[in-house]
Structure 1
Amino acid sequence: MNDSRPSGRDARREAEPPGPDAAGPPKSVLARGLSLMDAFGSGDAELTLTELAARTGLPRPTAHRLLGELVRWGGVERTETGYRLSLRLFVLGQRAPSPRGLREAALPYMEDLYEATHENIHLAVLDGTDTLFLEKVNGRRSMPIVSRVGGRLPAYCTATGKLFLAMGPPDRLDRAVSAGLRRHTPHTIILPGLLQRELARTLDRGYGVNREESEAGVSAVAAPILGRDRRPIAAISITGSTYRLDLDRLAPAVRTAARALSRELARESAGGPVRR
């Protein structure tokens, strides 16, 4: 899966930082405060007051006042040159039960894949029209790629994202196309008709591939983790150098891991014993 962005490795773009939409900035105080925290992209260690005001559409005095409240609450920290998100948000995120349970269940399978390949292994879910990376396993022998836990990429140019689009309802692809098919590399598929054909191939073979579509020199193969309705709830991918990875050869391994994890999650949700 060629997928996610900064502080690590994997794919050439995280979702663009949000900007003011056509309806203008949010109206409520709570929504405005949340929009300031949401303005931080995956690659933003810190942002200035001017940048935060521009991204949210809030007047500078309003943004400054709300940031002061967020600093006092502990969600944002003041730096010498601007603001950054605080560890309190990370702590809160760890309390979210569903993704955390999924990550804990997936880690043994991801570690097995890493030991077998020594490549970057990712666990991803769909978030809107993006693929969001919940977990990553890599090591010194893995190819450095731009990705990190919490990073995201457009679904249409990632191996994991193609699975969500191919196996999801038709309007999911419509939303992705409406959001815009932006070129990230010379290999990115940006024509809706070509993307639709690629998704048909993805559905037919049962796994997704990304051949340098989000980051030059990086390719990936991904398999779906299925829920009880046979719809993908997540995906696991192997990502590395295009010149080193044989995607078709690695596909059975990632599919086997994904099927085993799907069965484990199904047993767990049914209240039965969980075994590997």
Structure 2
Amino acid sequence: MADGVLDERSMLGRVMRLLDAFGSDGRPLGLSELSRRTGIPKPTVHRIAGDLVLARLLTASPEGFRLGRGLFELGMRAAAERSVLEVAVPFMQDLLARTQETVHLGVLDGDEVVYISKLGGHRQASVPSRLGGRMPLHCTAIGKSLLAHSGPEAIDRVLSQPLERRTRHTIVAPGLLRTQLEQVIEQGVAYENEESTLGVVCVAAPILGVDGTPLGAISATGPATRFRPSAHATSVRAAADGAASILARRAQVQTADS
């Protein structure tokens, strides 16, 4: 690793390239396809994939390889995310009952949102999010909610980069996005109006730690034809604040016991 970047030629780098080659559709991939997607020679892919099967990070079938259950088990051991997930899910369930729309829990990872929970009702909107999936910060309500509370340096860094235009509604002007982030701080919620996906609108609120840093964010998402984000802002903010309150109490208990 040089300058904070993983060397893709190293064994670990090749393992990560192999794991990253799998898409969100769960479709199995054969050796030839994995070699094509990663640029790793087929014999090397065969050897690495065999080791990953033994480690339960991949599963093998006649159709090809899939990501293994061992990856899920390792992911659930991530202490910070697991704590947020355990605490937030009951509040998300309450929010789902109130809104009857899709409810997300996302956390900050670099300059992206990673979705770690997603609850949907019978009439949930078709949204591009998926568990473990990533989305840019600037065009999602959860992303804006997290970014607004991440401090001036993080905001300046994101706004200094080119902002991807996902739809015709995506805000790509840094000054306009900065104004929105200031409004997020004032209002306690962030909005998305068809900025990541046409026809989808959203409202999100941050789960803040005792020091004010964002531990995650909860959102309610629905189709623009029927869902009015502002009408559910109070409920979304209450869900996030409820989760934050419990996490704060847990932190106080852990501090007292240490």
Q: TM-score, normalised by structure 1?
A: 0.81
**Quick one: distance in 2 between partners of 1:50 and 1:158?**
36
Q: Assess, with a 3 A threshold, how the Cα gap between structure 1 residues 208 and 43 changes in structure 2: closer, same or farther.
A: farther
- Counterpart of 1:144 in structure 2 is 126
Instruction: Say which SS state the counterpart of residue 224 (structure 1) adopts.
Output: strand
Q: Of the candidates 76, 79, 87, which is equivalent to residue 69 of structure 2?
A: 87
1:197 partner letter: T
**Quick one: distance in 1 between partners of 2:153 and 2:56?**
39
Tell me: higher relative CO, structure 1 or 2? Use CA pairs within 8 A at least 6 residues apart. 1
**1:59-82: per-residue Cα shift (whole Å, max 9, x none)?**
443333212221232211234454
- Counterpart of 2:228 in structure 1 is 246
User: Unaligned regions of 5+ residues in structure 1, if any?
Assistant: 1-22
Instruction: Say which SS state the counterpart of residue 91 (structure 1) adopts.
Output: helix
**Quick one: distance in 1 between partners of 2:119 and 2:130?**
10
Structural mapping, 1:40-55, within 5 Å: 40-43=22-25, 45-55=27-37
- Counterpart of 1:38 in structure 2 is 20
Which is worse superposed, 56-65 or 86-95? 56-65
Identity of aligned residues (%): 43
Instruction: Say which SS state the counterpart of residue 122 (structure 1) adopts.
Output: strand
Q: Does the aligned pair in 1 maintain the 2:55–2:70 contact within 8 Å? A: no
Cα displacement (A) at 1:109: 0.7
- Counterpart of 2:175 in structure 1 is 193
1:136 partner letter: K
Structural mapping, 1:120-139, within 5 Å: 120-139=102-121
CA RMSD of aligned residues (A): 2.3
**Quick one: distance in 2 between partners of 1:253 and 1:73?**
43
Q: Assess, with a 3 A threshold, how the Cα gap between structure 1 residues 71 and 104 changes in structure 2: closer, same or farther.
A: same
- Counterpart of 1:219 in structure 2 is 201
Q: TM-score, normalised by structure 2?
A: 0.86
Instruction: Say which SS state the counterpart of residue 181 (structure 2) adopts.
Output: helix
- Counterpart of 1:154 in structure 2 is 136
Q: Assess, with a 3 A threshold, how the Cα gap between structure 1 residues 100 and 246 changes in structure 2: closer, same or farther.
A: same
Cα displacement (A) at 1:27: 3.5
- Counterpart of 1:115 in structure 2 is 97
Q: Does the aligned pair in 2 maintain the 1:25–1:58 contact within 8 Å? A: no
- Counterpart of 2:43 in structure 1 is 61
Q: Does the aligned pair in 2 maintain the 1:218–1:240 contact within 8 Å? A: yes
Cα displacement (A) at 1:126: 0.6
